């Protein structure tokens, strides 16, 4: 009996140790996710801070302090985007040549310096300097941070981690607004300072296994991969496929002649013309365009003006804005849950279709009001905008970074992310800049119709060409594009052979 008890205790101890081992990789991946989340949260603080410190600076202005002009206020709200562009070029280059970890630490240190300047600011010019430094934080959003989360997380958790990052950003915006509303704006810097200190603990995590494999450091790659994913069979198979793929690619590169500058030009030409480069890139651009042309960001930025035009009541407009902000965060959390239940493609397309339907419904509703067929109702207006917000936040708003982070080939990641970051920043700025003119030229119902039609075009393209990526390794996704290319090549060869046979 004692022997049976001892055997039973040993079995339970062994089972407990196996369970513990299975949780270690998840906790390590979660740690990497939270380290990146801290910077996403800080980026939200960067975006939310001008909303509260601009009014406070105007109230604090007196004969001894520098007045805040309208021109300076506009620069404080927009300079962040302009100064992210140089870093959008620098960071992908750094991630290509020195890895993922060191650029992340550089971003964290520069962000920390920016908020030290922010806290010590005594004039609008000091705050402007702080915003210039914060350009690196915005640029890291679509470069270093996405690469780290995609390459450090397993296929099972990757999608949820990526969507959590997007929602964390809006929590940062909300916390900045709440902090600045109920206390002095300088306290925002204290929150950012704590988050940056936590992000600096990333110094203990290993380099990306994918980057190590790409650079031929296979032993270090294996150690880093096992630290992140454990030693179970599924993880070992993924590691074996990763190393095999990179060894094959390095052999092909080594077999080519590398003597003249024409070789480099030929490599660039081959890269740009490769379907494995431009197909995932164009699909990623479509996903981002779907979000921006859905009008959700426009509705967020111009919420008070839009609701004032619809409801003809300033108090209702501010109430509606607060409701929409709360619904945006709630919708993103719902989207994170739904992403575990549904496939990426299914969730993106179904939520997009619902959002587009509501856009057309809002356009029809506003058109009937303009014709005096129906009377405007504040509750109906807010319900329609809330329904639109929930639909878009569940899919197109939280999924772009996840999808293009998974689609892009490892060997093209730095160049693709450079193009995508520049495209996204310019697209966002252009849509926000032109939206007031669209509202003025087309009126409200015409503007919502424009966004509905635009979003429909991009949704149809994605319906036709976007593959499913959920629970697939990066190598499996890459193989999907390779297989489709091989099928096309074989089909074209067969067609040519058939023609030759007929002749």
Integer Cα distance of 407 and 489 in angstroms: 21
- Could you tell me if residue 238 is inside a domain? no
Q: How many CB atoms lie within 10 A of CB 187?
A: 14
Residues 194, 277 within the same domain? no
* Token code pair at residue 50: 């001008």
pLDDT at 62: 58
Full pLDDT tens readout for the chain, 503 residues: 455 555 444 444 444 444 445 678 888 888 998 999 999 999 988 887 877 777 778 777 654 455 677 667 667 766 777 788 888 888 888 988 898 999 999 999 999 999 999 999 888 888 889 988 998 998 888 788 888 888 888 877 776 787 777 778 888 877 887 787 778 889 999 999 999 999 999 999 999 988 898 888 889 989 998 898 888 888 888 888 888 888 887 777 666 555 455 556 666 666 666 677 778 888 888 988 998 888 887 776 666 567 667 666 656 665 666 677 778 878 887 887 887 788 888 888 999 999 999 999 999 998 898 888 888 787 787 788 888 888 888 888 878 777 777 787 767 776 787 788 788 877 877 777 777 778 888 888 898 999 999 999 999 999 998 888 877 776 777 777 765 555 444 544 444 454 444 44
Say if CB 477 and CB 159 are below 8 A apart: no
- What burial class does residue 346 get, using C-beta atoms within 10 Å of its C-beta: 0-12 exposed, 13-18 middle, 19+ buried? middle
Residues 287, 404 within the same domain? yes
- Length of the chain, in residues: 503
Residues 301, 153 within the same domain? no
Helix (H) or strand (E) holding 483: helix 474-502
pLDDT at 502: 43
DSSP state, 215? T
- Could you tell me if residue 503 is inside a domain? no
Integer Cα distance of 277 and 274 in angstroms: 5
From 205, 229, 256, the end of a domain falls on: 205
Integer Cα distance of 495 and 359 in angstroms: 45
- What burial class does residue 76 get, using C-beta atoms within 10 Å of its C-beta: 0-12 exposed, 13-18 middle, 19+ buried? buried
467: left (phi over 0), alpha (psi -120 to 50) or beta: beta
Residues 287, 190 within the same domain? no
The parent domain of residue 304 ranges over 273-483
Helix ranges (H only) for 61-154 are 70-82, 84-97, 101-120, 124-141, 144-152
Residues 435, 348 within the same domain? yes
pLDDT at 64: 47
Residues 197, 282 within the same domain? no
Q: What are the C-alpha distances in Å from 342 to residues 230, 345, 471? A: 26, 8, 11
What sign for the dihedral angle of Cα 330, 194, 148, 296?
positive
- What burial class does residue 407 get, using C-beta atoms within 10 Å of its C-beta: 0-12 exposed, 13-18 middle, 19+ buried? buried
Residues 182, 323 within the same domain? no
Q: How many CB atoms lie within 10 A of CB 120?
A: 11
- Could you tell me if residue 179 is inside a domain? yes
Residues 183, 317 within the same domain? no
* Token code pair at residue 322: 């607060």
Domain count, the chain: 2
Angle made by CA atoms 345, 350, 419, in degrees to the nearest 5: 50
Task: Tell me, letter by letter, the H, E, C secondary structure of 243-298.
Answer: HHHHHHHHHHHHHCCCCCHHHHHHHHHHHHHCHHHHHHHHHHHHHHHHHHHCCHHH
Residues 191, 54 within the same domain? yes
Backbone angles phi, psi at 473, to 5 degrees: -70, 160
- What burial class does residue 59 get, using C-beta atoms within 10 Å of its C-beta: 0-12 exposed, 13-18 middle, 19+ buried? exposed
Residues 424, 320 within the same domain? yes
From 182, 205, 228, the end of a domain falls on: 205
- Could you tell me if residue 14 is inside a domain? no
* Token code pair at residue 298: 């426009």
pLDDT at 2: 52
- Could you tell me if residue 254 is inside a domain? no
DSSP state, 302? T
pLDDT at 404: 75
DSSP state, 66? -
pLDDT at 11: 40
From 205, 229, 255, the end of a domain falls on: 205
Integer Cα distance of 106 and 91 in angstroms: 10
- Could you tell me if residue 415 is inside a domain? yes
Residues 164, 290 within the same domain? no
- Could you tell me if residue 488 is inside a domain? no
Number of H helices, E strands in the chain: 21, 0
Say if CB 205 and CB 31 are below 8 A apart: yes
Residues 458, 316 within the same domain? yes
Q: How many CB atoms lie within 10 A of CB 105?
A: 14
- Could you tell me if residue 259 is inside a domain? no
For position 97, which CATH number holds?
1.20.1250.20
433-452 burial, b at 16+ Cβ within 10 Å, e below that, comes to eebeebbeeeebbbbbbbbb
């Amino acid at each position: 009996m004692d022997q049976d008890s001892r055997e039973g205790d040993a079995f339970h101890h062994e089972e407990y140790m196996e369970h513990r081992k299975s949780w270690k990789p998840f906790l390590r991946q979660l740690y990497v996710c939270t380290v990146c989340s801290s910077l996403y949260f800080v980026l939200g603080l960067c975006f939310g801070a001008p909303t509260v410190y601009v009014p406070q600076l105007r109230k604090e202005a007196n004969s001894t302090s520098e007045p805040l002009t309208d021109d300076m206020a506009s620069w404080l709200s927009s300079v962040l985007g302009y100064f992210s562009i140089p870093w959008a070029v620098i960071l992908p280059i750094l991630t290509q040549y020195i890895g993922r970890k060191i650029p992340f630490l550089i971003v964290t240190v520069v962000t920390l310096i920016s908020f030290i300047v922010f806290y010590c600011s005594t004039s609008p010019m000091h705050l402007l300097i702080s915003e210039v430094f914060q350009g690196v934080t915005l640029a890291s959003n679509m470069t270093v941070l996405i690469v780290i989360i995609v390459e450090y997380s397993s296929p099972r958790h990757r999608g949820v981690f990526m969507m959590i990052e997007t929602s964390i950003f809006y929590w940062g915006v909300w916390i900045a607004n709440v902090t600045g509303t109920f206390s002095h704006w300088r306290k925002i810097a204290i929150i950012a300072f704590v988050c940056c200190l936590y992000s600096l603990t990333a110094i203990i995590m290993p380099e990306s296994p994918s980057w190590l494999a790409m650079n031929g450091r296979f032993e270090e790659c294996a150690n880093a991969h096992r630290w992140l994913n454990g030693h179970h069979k599924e993880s070992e198979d993924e590691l074996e496929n990763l190393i095999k793929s990179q060894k094959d690619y390095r052999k092909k590169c080594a077999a080519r002649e590398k003597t003249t500058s024409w070789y480099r030009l030929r490599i660039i030409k081959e890269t740009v013309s490769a379907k494995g480069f431009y197909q995932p890139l164009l699909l990623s651009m479509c996903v981002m365009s779907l979000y921006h042309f859905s009008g959700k960001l426009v509705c967020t930025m111009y919420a008070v003006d839009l609701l004032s035009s619809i409801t003809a009541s300033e108090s209702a407009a501010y109430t509606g804005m607060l409701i929409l902000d709360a619904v945006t965060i709630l919708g993103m959390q719902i989207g994170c849950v739904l992403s575990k239940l549904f496939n990426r493609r299914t969730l993106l397309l179904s939520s997009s279709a619902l959002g587009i339907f509501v856009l057309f419904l809002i356009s029809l509703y506003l058109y009937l009001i303009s014709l005096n067929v129906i009377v405007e109702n504040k509750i109906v207006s807010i319900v329609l905008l809330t329904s639109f917000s929930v639909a878009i936040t569940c899919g197109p708003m939280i999924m772009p970074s996840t999808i293009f982070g998974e689609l892009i080939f490892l060997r093209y990641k730095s160049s693709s992310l450079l193009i995508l970051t520049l495209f996204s920043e310019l697209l966002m700025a252009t849509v926000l800049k032109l939206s007031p003119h669209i509202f003025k030229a087309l009126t409200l119902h015409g503007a919502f119709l424009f966004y509905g039609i635009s979003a429909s075009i991009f949704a149809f393209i994605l319906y036709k060409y976007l593959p499913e990526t959920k629970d697939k390794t990066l190598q499996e996704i890459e193989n999907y594009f390779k297989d489709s290319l091989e099928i096309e090549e074989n089909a074209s060869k067969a067609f040519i052979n058939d023609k030759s046979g007929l002749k």
